[in-house]
Amino acid sequence: MINGFKPHIGMHLDKENQVKTKLIYTMFILFFFTICTIAQAAEGSYRIGPGDILEISVWKDENLRRQIVVPPDCVISFPLIGSIEVSGLTAPELKNAIAERLTEYIPDPTVTVLFLQVNSSKAYVIGKVNKPGEFPVSMDTNVMQLLSMAGGLNAFASADKILILRQQDKNTVEIPFNYKQVEKGDKLEQNILIQRGDVVVVP
């Protein structure tokens, strides 16, 4: 008891419930964007990157079935055709490339490329957020959604001085983002789509 004030047990429960609700919400957001990315991979719009796990197979030939983890240099090896670079390819593009090279050995090969795990489509949030780290992103993830996955800004964040660092042609581009304006519905064009490898810095 402080100055005649006796805290009620319900206050503690409310705080615990708020924490649990935020945790569940964050987990749901992460799950949702992971599912979106896998769906994009299945429909052929997702581009292969390091860490993705592929299953490549040729119809009616069990010897030509491989599960492959894409290495950092994005060069994989497949029987008969040897090495092939897969960076930036979609599943249909890789399927066609493998099939074309296999025609030297197999007439009209039917190649299948599946994503077993999508691990390379990630962006990063650092600085004054509640849960900094790396997060899975889809092609439709915007800045506000990524910040939400990071638990939102903490009380000490400079919400009007956020930067998005993006690699373009071997250069790092700084894109300013004013959280306060977007939150109020102003200058929504700042809420751009996140790209693989983006780093959001919250000072």
Contacts of 180 (CB under 8 A, 6+ apart): 159, 160
Residues 157 and 116: their CA atoms lie apart, in Å, by 38
Beta bridge partners of 112: 57
pLDDT at 118: 81
Q: Which residues of the chain does CATH 3.30.1950.10 include?
A: 53-117
Question: 9-43+121-202: which CATH architecture?
Answer: Roll (3.10)
pLDDT at 33: 52
Q: What is the pTM of this model?
A: 0.61
Question: 53-117: which CATH architecture?
Answer: 2-Layer Sandwich (3.30)
pLDDT at 46: 82
- Cβ distance 49 to 87 under 8 Å? yes
The single-letter code of the amino acid at 37 is T
Name the residue among 56, 181, 34 with its Cα closest to residue 120. Answer: 34
Q: Which residues of the chain does CATH 3.10.560.10 include?
A: 9-43+121-202
Full pLDDT tens readout for the chain, 203 residues: 455 555 555 555 565 665 556 556 555 555 555 555 555 555 567 889 888 999 999 999 999 999 999 999 999 999 999 999 998 899 999 999 999 999 999 999 999 999 988 888 889 999 999 999 999 888 789 999 999 999 999 999 999 999 999 998 889 999 999 999 999 999 999 999 999 899 999 99
